[in-house]
Amino acid sequence: MAMEVEDPFPDELVLPETVLTMLDWPLPPPVEALLQEICREQSQEPPDAEVRRRLADIGEDGAIKILKRISCCTIKHLSSFIIYMVNRYPECISEDNRRRSHESTPPLSRSFSPLGKGVQVEGLNPLKAKRRLSFYSEPPPECSERGSSGMISEQLKLLSQLEFRKLFLILSYIGSRKKLEDVVSPNEAADILGIWGNLPMTEFESRIWNAYGRQNYDGDRPKYLDWDSGKTHMYYCNVDQGGNCTFKGVRLTTTRTHLQRALGDENVLCVRFPAENECCPKMIADEGILVGLRRYRFFVYKDEKEKKKNLEERKKDPTLLKCYFISIVERSNIGPCEDGRRPYTFSEKKINEARSQFMHVHTVPSIAKYIARFSLILSKTIKFPIDLANVDIQDIEDIPCRDANGHIVYDQDGEPRIHTDGTGYISEDLALKCPKGFRSAKFISDGNFEQFQGFTELEDTNMEGIQYWNREPPPLLMQFRMFNNGRAIKGTLLINKQIGPGKIQIRPSMVKVEKDPKILATSTFNSLEIVAISHKPRRANLSKFLILLLSYGGVPEEYFLALMKSAWEEIKTIYTDKRAALRAAVRYGETDNEFTTAKLISSGVPMDEPYLQDCLSRLANMEKDNLKTGKLPTSDSYYLMGTADPTGTLNSDEVCVILDNGHVTGKVLVYKHPGLHFGDIHIMNAKYVEELNHIVGNAKYGIFFSTKGPISAASEIANSDFDGDMYWVSMNPQLLTYYKASEPWSRIHAVPKAVTKRPSEFMPDELEYELLRVFLEGKKLGNNMAVAADGWLACMDQFLTLGNNCTKEKPADLKRKILHLIDLYYEALDAPKTGKTVNIPRKLMPEKYPHYMERRPSYQSTSVLGKLYDYKEPSIAEEDSQKEIWKLPCFEVEVPETCLSLWKERYHKEYLPEMSEAMNCGPPKSEARKVAANNVMKKYKQLLYEARDFEESRRKDDDIFNEALAIYHVCYDYAKMSNDARKCGFAWRVAASALCKYHAFKQKDRPILILPSILQEILR
């Protein structure tokens, strides 16, 4: 009987090391040496006999080319990876050796994995729900008709004809455990294309969700009603540790970046990697990510460690690192470039040329600066409505710092110190083109904003609620980004009435990327982007850092405790005082469902109304949480944008501060967050400068620093500059009485300069690998800036409370440790630009942390911050007692039964289950849960108004009022059953505009329109 022999090459088996007999296949010495070097450097076992035979078959030249490619990668299993690379890069092998290798080798399964033994990849299909990143090239065109598991399927060919956001939605909804072909049949794909393809996005999303997403999708459902509102579409791809990709989205957002404006939303893919990842930079660069038939390649990322918001996000979920890939496809569907010329086509092999369309970033001196400068295209901005081709952009000189003898002063790195770091000028006529309600304008679609080119002839407010400065002085300062003919420029622009119309003047310190003269004239994505403007400041709060520095400078803790008591008493008035309540409602309006609480107060709803009291209780709790973290409101203190004195009249210890009533005079304290040094708070003389009025006119809200002396005062304050930094300026008489200034900061401990090649010295492919390596590997180093700041906070707490047994260190030792941490903190703050590696020695870190930091191990701090954290007052009756649910008398009217029946059905059978589902989308207070809940509310607002809100509805007012009252009664009846005022929220979150207007009419009063931004300005 013949013995059955198991096939050593089954279709879905990864070859083990012992499949073939181990034979000693000799290799040429250069190949053998390179192979041993790879094994030694990557701690790999020598390849098995089969692999050595394959290397021998492809010849010496082919083997060396393959092994050199492999040496650039991170390898899990060398033998498997060599076989993969031999198959992946046949162009490295001569024709004769390729034929010999093919004839002598059994056909390997396409499931052969480059990731290691036992790891299988389910074919080459780029549309698996769990997709392998960057290991496969696109199958050849002739294979796409076969329908093989490794080819482009019929389903994909059909669905790729859909609008891209619809295709992406399908790829997201198939989930993370199945392939597209497992979920959607060819007939279903044809039906989706032919029957559903032309449906409005809202209806299309609903059908795809019911058909596929409900049972497969494992994320929160992006359920929007305003798909065609002009909002930015965000497309996400999450990559796990093994390189598997899952799509998430589509998400709508109200902000847009220069990158998205230039390329179109669908050509930008936000990719999130785990911090501990196994992805090979070379493979990601070579292969990119396939989304349908589009290939996206790595393009840019932004190091956001310095931003507090992102630090908090990273603490909640430290595993995700975000970058952006772009689709290198014909841009003919995006429309013309901003200058009206023919759309630019990104070539698949010239990603570096694509970057040059934004700026000539290859001219910068280091990889760190390359990354930092190119990430300017990711700033969330407003596109300034001017054509740069019609603007006279002039270069002017910086003003250097000079000593008493008139010689230029240099810093510790050998760079000349300058007084005008980051600030230039803009003419008055151009400054008038900036939207006045900047906070509101920043969150509207670009299409709506760019319609209004004739702004100087408009009334104060256009139909989108945007105000312009045609009857008031324009902003004093604008923080901006400019991309112009290959140059990238950032900083602030000060209005200057004397430079003549149509001009912008920039200094060398503002130019972050220079134009490459070797590049011939090409179309570039030119644009002036506004990040922020100087505006009327609200009363400034203190911070943990500032409180400790003020304490060190002599301000007694009784002062801060008195501020806490006063603030606590003010919180109590929220429940009864309309002005205090309205101020709190406006302050947190953006998190309060579109200023719902403010609407109730403004429309005359009684302060003791059950739901209004519940809203005010939540606002009070938010205020108290802020106070516990040191955010104490102080009088006569403001945050102002800084710039250099254009008149040259201020002395080195003088500043000019412009507020509502003009120039401030007298002593002021000046500080910039996040300063940590004892001397980062300066005592300066505020002076009236008459000459300044001829330059800035009546423009307001800013602080001017001197351009005299051997060092810029701004650089002495937390190493700051004038590219948009905000300075805390206080005229508070008590603080000025108590505080005694210390010597300014001067670096003691320097970190060595980073040694790196210039980006221009890399070959294009090498540069892509290096950028990805820095992104993927550099992030593993952690956030040393946050580590240094936490260490400083703990050490300062102990230094200010010596003798409370929390530490045995001597004061001198603690102070040396604090000064060392300060230097490292400032180095880490600039590390994204300098490329320096900043490590925090363990000896500098405290053994215990004060309890208010909520870190372990901890001790009970007796410092002022510890006392603020523990501050308690008797519980407020309005919060703790159960309130009876009652209805407003003016709403006790007869409501049509049809309306009541309709909304009872919707509320109990639709809304309650949907909101319950939304509450399961993520942990409490998470962004996912918030978005899901808001989307549910948007659905019912749309049902009520048949528009986004009352003002846009075409329904009859009486019909809306009847349904709004029905919602109110259904909701309040349900809340009465459980005596829970929070359950009244549905009525106001959905129908607030209609109910407030109805309530105002019933009071026989006429409501007036007031913009939230104006209300915020009035109540600052």
Look at residue 235 and tell me if it is in a domain. Answer: no
847 contacts: CB under 8 Å, gap ≥ 6: 807, 857
- 582-594 pLDDT, tens per residue? 888 888 766 666 6
Q: Do 166 and 300 share a domain, yes or no?
A: no
Q: Do 394 and 372 share a domain, yes or no?
A: no
CB 697 within 8 A of CB 429: no
Look at residue 171 and tell me if it is in a domain. Answer: yes
Q: Residue 340 sits in which domain range?
A: 255-379+758-780
Look at residue 700 and tell me if it is in a domain. Answer: no
Task: Find the length of the chain.
Answer: 1020
How far apart CA 52 and CA 55 sit, in angstroms, is 5
The pLDDT value given to residue 91: 56
Lowest-confidence segment of 302-311, 458-467, 632-641, 913-922 by average pLDDT: 458-467
Q: Do 453 and 570 share a domain, yes or no?
A: no
Q: Do 563 and 425 share a domain, yes or no?
A: no
Q: Do 892 and 971 share a domain, yes or no?
A: yes
Lowest-confidence segment of 36-50, 257-271, 489-503, 807-821 by average pLDDT: 36-50
- Asked whether residue 972 carries a pLDDT value surpassing 90, the answer given is yes
Residue ending a domain, choose from 533, 564, 591: 533
For residue 492, list its beta bridge partners. Answer: 423, 479
CB 479 within 8 A of CB 532: yes
Name the CA radius of gyration of the chain, rounded: 32
Q: What is the mean pLDDT of residues 809-818?
A: 88
Q: What percent of the chain clears pLDDT 90, i.e. is strictly above it?
A: 42
How far apart CA 82 and CA 285 sit, in angstroms, is 19
Q: Do 773 and 791 share a domain, yes or no?
A: no
Q: Do 814 and 923 share a domain, yes or no?
A: no
Q: Do 279 and 375 share a domain, yes or no?
A: yes
Beta strands in 679-784 (DSSP E): 682-686, 702-705, 726-730
Q: Do 299 and 275 share a domain, yes or no?
A: yes
Look at residue 740 and tell me if it is in a domain. Answer: no
Q: Do 304 and 396 share a domain, yes or no?
A: no
How far apart CA 674 and CA 704 sit, in angstroms, is 20
The pLDDT value given to residue 650: 96
Task: Give the other-Cβ count within 10 Å of 61's Cβ.
Answer: 15
Number of helices and strands in the chain (H, E): 38, 24
The pLDDT value given to residue 320: 57
Q: Which residue has the tokens 């954290």?
A: 869
How far apart CA 571 and CA 575 sit, in angstroms, is 8
- 441-472 pLDDT, tens per residue? 444 444 433 332 222 222 233 333 444 455 57
Confidence class of residue 521 from pLDDT cuts 50, 70 and 90? Answer: low
How far apart CA 672 and CA 636 sit, in angstroms, is 16
The pLDDT value given to residue 141: 34
Q: What percent of the chain clears pLDDT 70, i.e. is strictly above it?
A: 78
The pLDDT value given to residue 44: 83
Q: Do 939 and 855 share a domain, yes or no?
A: no
Cα dihedral 105, 109, 115, 119 in deg (nearest 10): -130
Look at residue 159 and tell me if it is in a domain. Answer: yes
Higher pLDDT, 487 or 254: 487
Q: Do 266 and 372 share a domain, yes or no?
A: yes
Q: Give the range with max mean pLDDT: 46-55, 553-562, 795-804.
A: 553-562
How far apart CA 66 and CA 57 sit, in angstroms, is 13
Longest dimension (CA), the chain: 111
Average pLDDT, the chain: 80
Look at residue 240 and tell me if it is in a domain. Answer: no
Residue ending a domain, choose from 569, 603, 628: 628
The pLDDT value given to residue 986: 92
CB 81 within 8 A of CB 70: yes
Q: Is the sign of the CA dihedral 643, 646, 651, 652 positive or negative? A: positive
How far apart CA 184 and CA 187 sit, in angstroms, is 8
Which of these, 833, 844, 841, lies nearest to 753 by C-alpha position?
833
φ/ψ of residue 700, rounded to 5: -130, 170
Residue ending a domain, choose from 488, 505, 533: 533
CB 835 within 8 A of CB 809: no
CB 339 within 8 A of CB 312: no
**Count of domains observed in the chain:** 7
Look at residue 637 and tell me if it is in a domain. Answer: no
The pTM assigned to this predicted structure is 0.78
How far apart CA 72 and CA 41 sit, in angstroms, is 11
The pLDDT value given to residue 314: 42
- Asked whether residue 829 carries a pLDDT value surpassing 60, the answer given is yes
Q: Which residues of 637-668 are buried (b: 16+ CB within 10 A; e: fewer)?
A: bbbbbbbbbbbebbebebbbbbbeeebbeeeb
Look at residue 638 and tell me if it is in a domain. Answer: no
Confidence class of residue 549 from pLDDT cuts 50, 70 and 90? Answer: very high
The pLDDT value given to residue 182: 86
Confidence class of residue 308 from pLDDT cuts 50, 70 and 90? Answer: very low
